[in-house]
Structure 1
Amino acid sequence: LKECPDLAQTIVVICAALGHDATFTGLETLKIKETDRVLALQTELAKIGVKFIEKNFSYKLDCSGLHFPEKITISTYEDHRMAMAFAPLALKIKEVEIEEKEVVNKSYPYFWDDLEKAGFNIV
């Protein structure tokens, strides 16, 4: 993902939600974005029992502990991509609360409206 690191969070979260273990490379710049996106992913994925392990410039996604709680609150760390990456968890988890949901205004101001049009219940 070296050429398109901004897709990393979404791809990692989708793989996690599907229970697919994976190894990712080219994510070195994620630590110097709006937030330390690696640490943010590690913290938020832990809420569904998934580990995102850094080793030798690669990142292993370990989904062996994957579980879906009834409700989850996701911190965005003031990062628009965190909000957008984790929102689709609502396909697997009954209630997903995204903190600071207005952060999407930076890149996609109509994100929540479009998700609602796609059938998501946005409150």
Structure 2
Amino acid sequence: MSIVRNSLAVVAASTLLALTSACGGADKVATCTEATKAMTDYQTAAAAAGANFDNLNKATADFSSKLKELAGKADGDLQSALQKVGDSFAELKIDPSDPAAATKVTEFAKKASEGAQSFAAACA
């Protein structure tokens, strides 16, 4: 399951980079800042979860909810991007007994990366 954790770490880091670099428009700065904080909080919670996938799943669900909440405060492309990233994280639930878990993480990573790129474009 270390491949799952490593994949999640890469996705989280790339999403944080997109969120951090995306905060360009003055009217979007507050939402971008909140989204960046939510990602930092998620990374901290995910790291603290260690091998406890229940805690990781809870952290992921909480992060998804926060992004969807932020999407409700935004409009246009920013709203769409936050919703897309939130939806991607909402779909992720790690079951260590599932032999296809690594494949699911790979699919998730692709969706999350696409969402992060949309977010970066919307905040620019």
Q: Do they superpose with TM above 0.5?
A: no
Q: Using CA pairs below 8 Å that are at least 6 residues apart, which structure has the higher relative contact order?
A: 2
Greater share of strand: 1
TM-score for both structures, normalised by structure 2 = 0.35
TM-score for both structures, normalised by structure 1 = 0.35
Greater share of helix: 2
